[in-house]
Amino acid sequence: MLPHVLIIGSWAEYLYTFHFDASYVPIIRTRDVDLLYPWIRRPAKPIDLERMMRDAGFVVVRDSHTQAVKLLKEDLLEIEFLTRQIGAGRDPVIDIPAIGMRGQALRDVNLLAEHPMVLEAKEHQILVPEPAVYVLQKILIHPHRVPAWKKEKDLESVRGLMPFIRNIPHDLSCWHEAVSGLSDKERSVLQRVAVEQFLDIPVLE
Amino acid sequence: MPILRGVIQDEYERNLRMQDAYRKELEGLPSRAVVHKRIKGRLYYYRVERIGRKVVNHYLSPKENDIDALLKQDARRRHLKRLLSDLKEEQQDMRRFLKA
């Protein structure tokens, strides 16, 4: 299972502590764990994840309208599956056949799915988005991010991560590569948000 | 501190969802506790029922009941009640913060 999901959101920022040095302090994280499942047909042999999670003590909750699944563990965790929105698709919730669940489909996470990084954390190999791309995505979604406090929280994440990204050649290179792959419209958004929010980002070529 | 307030609001709503889910699960479990008594070295299991001020023990025959399953359900029922109590307390704490 671990090779097929990326951990995103505030828990990805916690996991970046295993990538950066000890001076990196992640932003506050909440009890919700967002799991990005980019390749909805992998593994090829489907997993009965619902049964496995129930056996592991999770409670499975379904949204009565969309049937999107959340997994609850005690008062500790709420796990939600997200996936990419592909092509012209607009369905807010789609099936993930590989695990027999329905997840939220968001176009905003597509960029994260395209740049996974394997991180070694406490003897586990976990997929997270490249930090540079994580930051880039936060900036790109800023104009339409709701509610307002999440906009602010995202900016804090960007400000907290960017100095570390600048200092590591791989991460800086990743940033430049991701930026060079943006459309003109996306570049325009990046520049505008960086200026409006006084973000110290590596110079755009 | 809009970020902190927003995070607590999010957690508050999550707390309510958790309580809702666990309450629904609790409703699906037997409401009466299972207790055991040791009589002359043997274990006997009973479903406890309160009738007015009296406590009545209904014997659970192992021939007619899956005792292990009943004990598991009872343990789960007790656990959920503790969990709901903790969540309720947390809800009150968060509500106090959000009202301030």
Residue from A149, A150, A156 to probe the interface with B (highest B Cβ count within 10 Å): A149
Q: What is the mean pLDDT of residues B70-78?
A: 93
Structural domains in chain B (count): 1
A60: CB partners within 8 A, 6+ apart = A50, A53, A54, A69, A70, A71, A72
Q: Which residues of chain A have pLDDT under 70?
A: 1, 203-205
Closest to B81 measured CA to CA, from B71, B73, B70: B73
**Nearest Cβ partner for A149 among B3, B87, B90:** B3
CATH architecture of A1-129: 2-Layer Sandwich (3.30)
Residue A64: what pLDDT? 84
Residue from B7, B13, B25 to probe the interface with A (highest A Cβ count within 10 Å): B7
Residue B29: what pLDDT? 93
Residue A204: what pLDDT? 59
| Cβ contacts of A32 on chain B, cutoff 8 Å | 10, 14
Q: A153-192: per-residue pLDDT in tens?
A: 999 999 999 999 999 999 999 999 999 999 999 999 999 9
Angstroms from A44 CA to nearest CA on chain B: 32
- Domain ranges, ordered by start, for chain A: 1-129, 130-205
Joined tokens for residue B90? 């947390």
Q: Do A75 and B11 touch (CB under 8 A)?
A: no
Domain of residue B7: give its range. Answer: 2-99
